[in-house]
Amino acid sequence: MRRLALLLLILLPTVLLAQKRTGAVKGILYDSINDYALQSASVTIYKQADSSIVEFQLTNTQGEFDIKNIPSKTALYCIISYTGYRPFVKNFQLDSTTLTTNLGKLFMTRQGKDELDEVVVKAVQPLRMNGDTLEINPDAFKLDSNAVVEDMLLRVPGLTVWGDGTITMNGRKLEKVYVDGKPFFGGAAQTATQNLPKNAIEKIQLYQEKDVSKLTNTEQKTDSLYSMNIKLKDDKKKGLFGKVGVGYGTDDRYTGDAVAQAYDKKNQLGVAAGINNINKEEGTGENAFMENTFKSNFRFFYGGRGNANDGITRRTYGNLKWQHNFSESENSQFYNRFTGDYGYLNTYKNYLSNSTSVQTVDNYKLSNISNNKSNNDNTSNTVKFLYENRKKFGNFVNISANYVNQYSTSSSEGQTDVFRNDTTAVSRTSNSSYATTNSNNFYMFGWLRSNDYELRDDPRKNYSINFGAGYNESRTNRGTLNTLESLADSIYTNTIDRRYNNYNKNYNANIGLNYDGFRPLLFGIYNFFNINMSLINNINFSRNEQDAAVFDLDTASHQQHQYIVNKRLTNTNTLTNFSYNPALNFNKSINKSVWGKYYYWLNFGIDLRYQFLNQSNASSILNRNIDRSFNSFIPSLNANFNYQKENVLRINSYLWANMSAQPPSIDQLYPIIDDAERYNMIAGNPFLKAPKTKNFNYNFDISRAKLNSKSNYGARLGLNFNNISRAIGDSLVYLPDSSGRSIRYLINVNHQRTVGGNLNLNFSTNINKMNTLGFTYAASINNSYRPGYIDHHLSTSDNTSLSHNFSVLYNRIDKFNISIGEIVSTNRNRQSNSTLPVSMIRNYTTTSNINYFITKTVTFNTSINYQRNKAANRNAVNATIWNANAIYRFMQQKAELRLSAFDLLRQNKNITNFLDRNMATTTVTNGLQQYYMITFSYYPRKFGGGGNRRPAGPPGIMMIAR
């Protein structure tokens, strides 16, 4: 935290220097005839010299406005506008002694139908309310010709663009971003806000909409989403943009990418391809487009993602995306469209690791030290289709299909040494393996729902159907060579040379029917206390076929490389599951609203659900042939509360609890034990009983909803509880040969418990027109209680993890920004009946990222990441990773030259700590070391062409008439 405090002290003078002597203007707005307050009227302050906008605001529920940061000794004028009223114009100037001007109670007069007098003033409204929609007018913001949507959003009061690209409005996250009511090349916010030029935008709309993604899930809340729609100008509804980049550096590091995206009123077509060996992660799907935007990470974290990942990866990718809209509708809630996506991805990874695991065993400990190296080559081809049709008066249809072909090869070798109490060597294992896998996976899912836009005259017609079907097959050929040497007994050495040929096929299908009109069907005209009733039916079927052929080297034969069948491991197995889950759902809603004051909605729901399951397993191994049936009562309940106090705050609260039961699997009852798994052999238990799980989740979300506030906040609290009765636990028995090997016997324990919570806070403030400050804090705590046995003695594992994540973001628009953060995570494990110290892991990470815009074309970026890792009472490991970039943009910013330096201090280390039950593990892996790279990129951009140009001035022009 001292490092974080030092960075804050460095930042504070910059913030203070940004302050200037400013004042305020305030007043209250009323209707001239009926004498009532006018809410959400647009109030804008301009300079008389050039009519540039100084500040703007919307009136609150009482018609009040209080605009701060108004410069003194400057000739100004104020324009107040409200739909259906004559604009109000007032000239004024703040002097150095009186920094506040109170315009008092202002009356606005309704506009007559035939008022077309001479125009004397032209002005542009930055913000206005259009019903329940807040509209932002880009033409009110005077920016550079290369400015994109994000440049403008940084200047909107109450709206914050965070370092990771997340956008919040009045503390509430914008969940969806559309362009003309449609997802834009996958729907990621950055793809639209960092590519589309400001001068192509007619207006930006912020509004709430129903979360239709949850219509088919009765166990989740169905509250609204806060969304943004970017409406393009009529002559800009066609565009072409992209990126071509290539870079080469020291140590033979390279990167190259090419992206082209085109759109019109009905179609979006995107093509992306790239290759790199610097661990950059862009690949298939929306990620291929999001990471290659015109202003990609230009302000925040410009150094790019990746680089510090485990191993060294060469990645080659290609992606093709097409979206066709069968209509030109610009309503994000009603659409008829088809989306297709093809992706190719090849990754080759070189991986080196050193791992140390410490196990507590009664009054002594075992330490496993492993060194491994591997090479993995993975190629995948992915095809996705999605059809969506939702009409205002008609059924809602959604059908998706996904096909993946994957081929991979891998090879590895390693060695593990086991010590007792850090001093006595007890065993050594060396192993090598290779594998090839080829798999095909296809899955289709769809649902149909009756019209949900408005309450139907006949609720008996309200229903939904969902269905899914899938097929998967995979073929794996694998070989292992494993040698175990017992150092406690110098005579014993055992080598296993084994090959596996596995072929798996899986079929699955499911169908569900929800009927929401059950109440009127049963009770007719009686409303049954306004409690809605739904009948729910779900049927699931799956079949998994396995064919495993295992061969061992024939050591008795004198022929080289002669393998014989291992009859104990070679087997065929077919598992068939059929389940039927009927349920009766009851839910009741209560709501109340007072116009201009508050609104609340409360909903309760309960599912009375029963589960019937039949499971059949047919195997060539006789004791794995079983046929069994289960049934259990698994109810669930939920409660959802939404409250909004007008112009003050917004609260969402949600509670969900359920019960579930899952019988033990065939591999838990009668596993096939492979002795090549030297240190982790699992023995089954045919007498295991089915565990029963109880889940509880609670979420509370609060955010500020004050239109005229320069500061905004949001907070989210989450709690969860999980309890499993008759849980399947472990009885761990170490073999008497002192080699460190163990067998896990599965048993039923009384219960396992997990309790957790998380807290997320965010606060942002506009210090003035050009300076913003934001804070985020996230904390989480989880505790798990898992009873078990070690060498026949009860040994309960009590594991607690705690993390804190704090960050500060300061932005002086177009000049300078800095983000700093501190992450502290602790993992603690206590093993009952153990005399050894409690295992403890602590990780500290301090990060900072600075962008300095030297000129409009030259930018300097640097980031520092300091890590300190201390695990299981061992010495701490420290590393400081320092990266830097110098960026020059030219050719109207369409071309970019960048000089990058990674790991300037040569300290990059990849360290992970893991703590589970009686074992603490620390792993150090290889990664990229210091390199320098020069990169050239070009961004082709063309927006407009075709369509009818607007005959008049830009949208939002307001004519002020006498």
Residue 94 has which token pair? 């703040």
Pairing of strands 649-661, 681-683: unpaired
* Mean pLDDT to the nearest integer, 269-286: 85
Separation between Cα atoms, residue 483 and residue 481, nearest integer Å: 7
Each residue of 805-823: pLDDT tens digit? 999 989 888 888 888 999 9
* Mean pLDDT to the nearest integer, 930-934: 95
Pairing of strands 681-683, 742-766: parallel
Average pLDDT, the chain: 84
pLDDT value at position 772?
A: 87
pLDDT value at position 22?
A: 76
pLDDT at 307 over 60: no
* DSSP conformation class of 197: B
The answer to whether 70 touches 76, Cβ cutoff 8 Å, is: yes
pLDDT at 11 over 60: no
| Percentage of the chain lying above the pLDDT 90 cut | 42
Question: What DSSP string describes 920-961?
Answer: EEEEEE-----EEEEEEEE--EEE--SSPPPSSS-TTEEEEE
858-865's contacts with Cβ under 8 Å and 24+ in sequence apart are 858/886, 858/887, 858/888, 858/889, 859/298, 859/302, 859/885, 859/886, 859/887, 859/889, 860/884, 860/885, 860/886, 860/887, 861/302, 861/303, 861/885, 861/886, 861/887, 863/301, 863/303, 865/308
Pairing of strands 396-420, 364-390: antiparallel
pLDDT value at position 310?
A: 79
Q: Band of the pLDDT at 835, cuts 50, 70, 90?
A: low
Separation between Cα atoms, residue 848 and residue 862, nearest integer Å: 8
Q: Band of the pLDDT at 605, cuts 50, 70, 90?
A: very high
Helices and strands in the chain: count of H runs, count of E runs: 6, 52
More confident residue, 834 or 450: 450
pLDDT at 768 over 90: no
Beta strands in 813-917 (DSSP E): 816-831, 839-853, 858-871, 877-890, 895-902, 910-916
More confident residue, 800 or 490: 800
* Mean pLDDT to the nearest integer, 429-446: 96
pLDDT value at position 574?
A: 97
Question: What DSSP string describes 580-634?
Answer: EEEEEEEEEEEEEEETTTEEEEEEEEEEEEEEEEEEEEEESSGGG-EEEEEEEE-
Q: Band of the pLDDT at 491, cuts 50, 70, 90?
A: low
CA angle 436, 442, 444 (to 5 degrees): 160
* Mean pLDDT to the nearest integer, 748-767: 92
| Percentage of the chain lying above the pLDDT 70 cut | 88
pLDDT at 225 over 80: no
Highest mean pLDDT pick, 86-90, 570-574, 789-793: 570-574
Each residue of 94-151: pLDDT tens digit? 887 777 888 888 888 887 655 544 444 456 778 888 877 888 888 888 888 888 998 8
CA angle 585, 590, 596 (to 5 degrees): 145
Give Cα 438 distance to the centre of its chain: 30
pLDDT at 318 over 90: yes
Separation between Cα atoms, residue 81 and residue 100, nearest integer Å: 22
pLDDT at 438 over 90: yes
pLDDT at 306 over 50: no
Separation between Cα atoms, residue 656 and residue 45, nearest integer Å: 48
Q: Band of the pLDDT at 896, cuts 50, 70, 90?
A: very high
Q: Band of the pLDDT at 463, cuts 50, 70, 90?
A: confident
Separation between Cα atoms, residue 226 and residue 175, nearest integer Å: 6
Each residue of 544-561: pLDDT tens digit? 999 999 999 988 776 777
Separation between Cα atoms, residue 708 and residue 60, nearest integer Å: 7
Separation between Cα atoms, residue 926 and residue 372, nearest integer Å: 11
Separation between Cα atoms, residue 45 and residue 59, nearest integer Å: 14
pLDDT value at position 955?
A: 46
Separation between Cα atoms, residue 158 and residue 169, nearest integer Å: 6
Pairing of strands 224-232, 176-179: parallel
More confident residue, 317 or 330: 317
Give 580-593 as a 3 state SS string: EEEEEEEEEEEEEE
Q: Band of the pLDDT at 593, cuts 50, 70, 90?
A: confident
If one counts every other C-beta atom within 10 angstroms of the C-beta of residue 695, the result is 16
Virtual torsion, Cα 279, 281, 283, 287, nearest 10 deg: -160
Residue 720 has which token pair? 């969860």
What 3-state class would DSSP assign to 127? strand
pLDDT at 214 over 80: no
Residue 61 has which token pair? 């529920």
pTM tops 0.95, yes or no? no
Each residue of 343-367: pLDDT tens digit? 999 999 999 988 888 877 766 778 8
